[in-house]
Amino acid sequence: MRKIYVVGSINRDLVVYVDRLPRTGETVFGNRFQQFPGGKGANQAVAASRLGGDVHLVGNVGSDAFGKDMLDFLAGENIDTSEIAILDTAPTGIALITVDSASENSIVVVSGANMVWHTRDLARMKIRRSDIVICQFEIPLEIIESVFEQAKKIGATTILNPAPIKPAGEKILKNVDYIVVNEVELEAFSSATVNPADPTSVYAAMGKLHQRGPLAIVATLGPRGALVSGPTGRNEAKGHNVNAVDTTGAGDCFIGGFAAALAKTHSVTDAINFANKAAAISVTRRGAASSFPLVAELSRH
């Protein structure tokens, strides 16, 4: 089976629950505090592993308690952590999240070790021609550029999730096999207006994004499913009618599922259907990584 290399962020999420968010200069009392694994890189690696992938995570943590917690968690998810660097020069990335009684939130991210990279660090990756390489935008763009350039020289398959949105040059996009975007990201990278309820507008935006380099584009449209446009044509994955309680991490679940399926099949249609089903299950549960299903669960739904 093809290996999946996720090159990306590793965070510890620190969440405080309050009745209401504080105003500037105000102190409020919290009701509850929890810690969760986080970071888009770690989330996508967990999803891919739970959904049957042979996953390696390449990233950085600090030599602190949060870093140890994340390494222990990832190893427990059957993810190869041997290519994660432990840095003495920067702390593990954290997200400070405050959530009120109406589920509104405010978030402060301190990237820490996620932004401390050198191109020589990429020697950690032992990718082969048959492997799949995934990146997101929570690490330096120049590292993503180098990762994808190296991957394409070898002949590996590349998947980009351009989130959170940042301007990306053609040096990255020209080496992308699959770019996975939601409607907001598709608008940003195509400079076209997207109406998720109108596939024509989605495909028009995809056409403009194709001109920037990606071979195939997968647009995730929440309950409406997903559309794909690529060298083999256009395909659609229908949405699933579920009782959604928390959409946190659904996009990461989709990408992990998409990669896990691509590692076993050459059918993009089958891969997006598999990923869409996994993401639909995840939104019926609370949390990010904690909501991601196991591969055996998909056969029961």
Strands 54-62 and 216-220: unpaired
Q: How deeply is 121 buried, as exposed, middle or buried, from its count of CB atoms within 10 A (0-12, 13-18, 19+)?
A: middle
The structure tokens listed for 133 are 């390489």
Supply the DSSP string of 73-114, one letter for each residue.
HHHHTT-B-TTEEEESSSPPEEEEEEE-TTS-EEEEEE-GGG
Q: How deeply is 157 buried, as exposed, middle or buried, from its count of CB atoms within 10 A (0-12, 13-18, 19+)?
A: buried
Task: Give the position of tokens 């679940």.
Answer: 253
Contact of 189 with 178, CB cutoff 8 Å? no
Phi and psi at 249, nearest 5°, equal 80, 0
What single letter denotes the amino acid at residue 278?
A: A
Q: What's the Rg (C-alpha) of the chain?
A: 19
Identify the CA nearest to 188 among candidates 164, 211, 171: 164
Could you give the residue numbers annotated as active site? 252
Contacts of 165 (CB under 8 A, 6+ apart): 137, 184, 185, 188, 189
Contacts of 170 (CB under 8 A, 6+ apart): 212, 213
